[in-house]
Amino acid sequence: MAEVLVYVKAWCPFCHRALALLGSKGVSPEVVDVEYEADRFPEMVQRAFGRRTVPQIFIDGRHIGGHDELQALDGLGQLDPLL
């Protein structure tokens, strides 16, 4: 199983959708709430090449992007092999 990390904010509907999609694949990602753990926000921005929006998703250290990119990978059948 791949190592999955998702940076989120608790109120974010796109974060919830991304986590639900990953959950439907049997994945329990590490979740970092960047509002609760504000000191991790700069880490997210750096790792996500300057992106400041959530979610930011990483699979085995590879930046996937946000919810839209995750959905696109799934739609193309490319998500399951990464997981």
Q: How many domains does the chain have?
A: 1
Q: What is the CATH number of the domain that holds 53?
A: 3.40.30.10
Question: What is the model's pLDDT at position 74?
Answer: 98
Cis ω for the linkage preceding 55 (within 30 of 0): yes
Nearest to 54 by CA among 12, 2, 4: 12
Q: What average pLDDT score do residues 73-80 get?
A: 98
Asked if the model's pLDDT at residue 1 lies above 90, the reply is no
Nearest to 9 by CA among 39, 43, 36: 36
- For residue 53, the enclosing domain spans 4-82
Nearest to 57 by CA among 74, 46, 44: 44
Task: Give per-residue pLDDT as tens, 17-60.
Answer: 999 999 999 999 999 999 999 999 999 999 999 999 999 999 99
Question: What is the model's pLDDT at position 78?
Answer: 98
